[in-house]
Structure 1
């Protein structure tokens, strides 16, 4: 029986599990797509390797073509894994890391901004009112 708090209760009214928020963010879409593609290719490669092994053990004619296709699939699977890594690097380079400045960095920036404003006010007070326009009187 589902309840609105996300848990499933048994007869004793204690939750079978409690859903917790995810600790890590989701992978970006291009990276996730490349990762899914790499996993599927790796799985097909492993299946091909098993077929090649069993055909070789049985002495079937299909053993040689299966071994050749397994070697080719291994190259493709390696390429797919490298594609995941390159796609992730490109995504991070283009979109950057989503980070928020720490309170220390924020405080230091605020202090520098206030110091610049104070220096501008002091300079403006020393120089007097500035003339608008460039015409000499």
Structure 2
């Protein structure tokens, strides 16, 4: 079976390290599906759902990412994410509350640094909400 090594790392922690047979990454130019032996590329990642198909697992591993950088080599894929959260650690009410709080912080920001932090928090909340929407859509199929 064709597999590649995948590393998903955020500022806080290593989110996923292991093998995958297929990965879907939300990039600025749309979703990018990557199989092993893909041509080398680098791309910016937009907020959304990172989906990993892992050999031996019946369900995809889902990770909400708020943005970052993707690097692909023929046998390795690395995502350096600003913020990343695995789907099993997400909660809809918490994500909606985080989005509201981030929007409030954006409107009240007094300087560039606090505005940037608020935008980063908003991107992280939106990524979690998109991931939870994806999970809900998959369950309703």
Same fold at TM > 0.5: no
Point out which structure has higher relative CO (alpha carbons under 8 A, 6+ apart): 2
Q: Rg: which structure is higher? A: 1
Indicate the structure with greater strand content.
Answer: 2
TM-score (normalizing by structure 2): 0.31
Tell me the TM-score normalised to structure 1 length: 0.32
